[in-house]
Amino acid sequence: MAVKQGHEEYLELVAIEALGALDGEDRLTLEAHLASGCKICRDAIFDSEKVLADLALAAPLAAPPDSVRERLFERVRRDSPVRPVRPGREETSSVPSRLLMTLAAAATLAAVGLGLYARTLQQRADNERIAREASERELGSLTETLEAFTAPTTRAVSLSGQGDAQGAAARAFLDPENRRLFLYVYNLPPPPPGRTYQLWLIVGGAPVSMGTFGVEPDGRGRLDTASIPTFEGEVTVAVTVEPSGGVPQPTGPMVLVGS
Amino acid sequence: MPVKPSPIVRDPAVLSDGDLWIRLRERDMASLEALYARYGSYVYALAMRMLGRSEEAEEVVQDVFWQLWKNESEYDPARAAFRTWLFAITRSRCLDRLRRHRSRSDSELPRGSGLGSAVPDPEQEAILAERQKHVVAAFQALPEPQQRVLEMGFFNGLTHREIAERLGEPLGTVKSRIKMGMDKLKDSLRSFEES
């Protein structure tokens, strides 16, 4: 492609890229230009993406059914050993809080020592109950994961580190029957500021995003998704470094890959 | 990841997105509930507009907010507003699904019912509602051909070549329309921010 004076033609491609609609030769052209270190175009993409995100507000407003919220927070509750806290109701509707207040009042009237002892017992009982509920949720989650790992159709894929992440490794477990994928990452350094890791499933040469993830300071990371596409035959699992929020197609360097 | 109990919160619904985000990083479920109350309808609306199927839009809502709960550290407040980031994630999830569908069937685009101007609860979402009104107005002020190409790219997830094919227009024309539409949209929304 002939390059016009200045950035005019690149900025046309930048607008299309921000829209997520750039492909083919034009995409390669822009990628090559960006790889040359053009800060103007990189900033322009970022700037345009910010404007475009608000186009989401132009969609006709519609509330999701209550069941969506219920399923989501049930899943969150299973993931968290703390009980849900509803906005604005913490101070008035908590049964343990009322009980504690009652015990405290009784203790004041009766004897300070007895009251303190009662409150200690109550606190201990609360702590034990919370810990037991957390253990039960954790056990349920582990059982679910173990069932997926041991299913006859589950495949295990080892991923090895690439480029600057040579020391990294990962294991992916694909459960096509339940469309689940579990990824466990080790020794992967945190992504640069404004970047994230994105997982791809490559079937028949076409990459499909499986979501983004971060890593802990010790280099460990985990991703669990329940929406992998149906596939047969060979599959490749890869991780790339991408802008925060992820991208529709891989653009950044590959840090982990395995088949 | 260690889980901290939720601190006493008088009313998370009145906290800013940034404050809710900080609390969410500490695994505060009340903050996730407040963000869901604030943005759940917008995320669902965008998914419905892009995918055209309620079951899939519901799955996207769950995926997006689950990601908030699990991958808090990805958002960088220095780079974009929380809303911008949230909508970008939502759109990315929808595009994944659209492209997956397209590999199976290339016959039909999911279509929504056009642009809307429904106003959410003004007390909690006044800023968003105002912004929404302006975005709709700015978009509708674009010439129809520019609206069309932006809509096909943004909501239908088509590439510029696919847009050109479907419209029967030269690729160069489509590219120019996208660029001009984007520039006008940017100018219009910036003037709103500055006013």
In this prediction the ipTM stands at 0.75
Of all residues in chain B, the percent with pLDDT exceeding 70 is 77
More confident residue, A150 or B112: A150
More confident residue, A68 or A50: A68
A206 in B contact zone (CB under 8 Å): yes
Q: Do A227 and B63 touch (CB under 8 A)?
A: yes
Instruction: Check: CB of residue B186 under 8 Å from CB of residue A48.
Output: yes
pLDDT at B96: 84
- Choose from A51, A183, A215 for mutation: most chain B CBs within 10 A: A51
The two tokens of residue A85 are 């806290």
Stretch A102-122: mean pLDDT:
58
Position B115, amino acid: L
The alpha carbon torsion through A30, A31, A36, A39 (nearest 10 deg) reads 70
Assigned CATH topology for domain B125-195 = Arc Repressor Mutant, subunit A (1.10.10)
What mean pLDDT value characterizes chain B? Answer: 78
Quick check: B142 pLDDT over 80? yes
pTM of full prediction above 0.95: no
The answer to whether B9-104 and B125-195 have equal CATH topology is no
Quick check: B167 pLDDT over 50? yes
Identify whether residues A189 and A124 lie together within a single domain. no
* Domain layout of chain B by residue ranges: 9-104, 125-195
Identify whether residues A145 and A171 lie together within a single domain. no
- The CA distance from A95 to B7, in Å, is 17
Q: Identify the weakest region by mean pLDDT among A67-81, A108-122, A233-247, B31-45.
A: A108-122
Of all residues in chain B, the percent with pLDDT exceeding 90 is 29
Quick check: B164 pLDDT over 90? yes
Selecting from A60, A80, A247 the residue whose C-beta is nearest the C-beta of B49 gives A60
Stretch A29-41: mean pLDDT:
84
Contact residues on chain A for B58, CB-CB shorter than 8 A: 64-65, 67-68
Q: Do A23 and B160 touch (CB under 8 A)?
A: yes
Domain boundaries, position A50: 8-55
pLDDT at A87: 44
Identify whether residues A163 and A176 lie together within a single domain. yes
Contact residues on chain A for B91, CB-CB shorter than 8 A: 20, 53, 56
A172 domain-assigned: yes
**Nearest C-alpha in A relative to B160:** A21
- The CA distance from A58 to B135, in Å, is 6
**Nearest C-alpha in B relative to A248:** B92
Number of structural domains found in chain A:
3
Identify whether residues A176 and A196 lie together within a single domain. yes
Quick check: A86 pLDDT over 50? no
Considering only residues 41 to 100 of chain B, which have any Cβ-Cβ distance to chain A shorter than 8 Å?
A: 41-46, 48-50, 54, 57-59, 61-63, 65-67, 69-71, 73-76, 78-81, 83-85, 87-92, 95-96, 99-100
User: How far does B52 lie from chain A, in Å, by closest CA?
Assistant: 11
A86 domain-assigned: no
Q: Identify the weakest region by mean pLDDT among A69-83, A116-130, B168-182.
A: A116-130
Give the model confidence (pLDDT) of A157-210 as tens digits.
Answer: 999 999 888 899 999 988 877 778 888 999 999 888 778 888 998 888 888 888
A69 domain-assigned: no
pLDDT at A102: 59
pLDDT at A212: 82
Give the 3-state secondary structure of residue A208. Answer: strand
- The pLDDT confidence band at residue B120, using thresholds 50, 70 and 90, is very low
pLDDT at B14: 67
Instruction: Check: CB of residue B125 under 8 Å from CB of residue B38.
Output: yes
Assigned CATH topology for domain B9-104 = Rna Polymerase Sigma Factor; Chain: A (1.10.1740)
A131 in B contact zone (CB under 8 Å): no
A2 domain-assigned: no
Quick check: A141 pLDDT over 80? no
Quick check: B95 pLDDT over 90? no
Identify whether residues A134 and A169 lie together within a single domain. no
What mean pLDDT value characterizes chain A? Answer: 76
pLDDT at B77: 73
- The pLDDT confidence band at residue B48, using thresholds 50, 70 and 90, is very high
pLDDT at B148: 93
A208 domain-assigned: yes
Chain A to chain B Cβ contacts (< 8 Å):
250
Sequence length of chain B is 195
A217 domain-assigned: yes
The two tokens of residue A67 are 């069941």
Contact residues on chain B for A63, CB-CB shorter than 8 A: 40-41, 44
Contact residues on chain B for A53, CB-CB shorter than 8 A: 80, 83-85, 87-88, 91
String of DSSP letters for A173-205: EEETTTTEEEEEEESPPPPPTTEEEEEEEEETT
Identify whether residues A221 and A128 lie together within a single domain. no
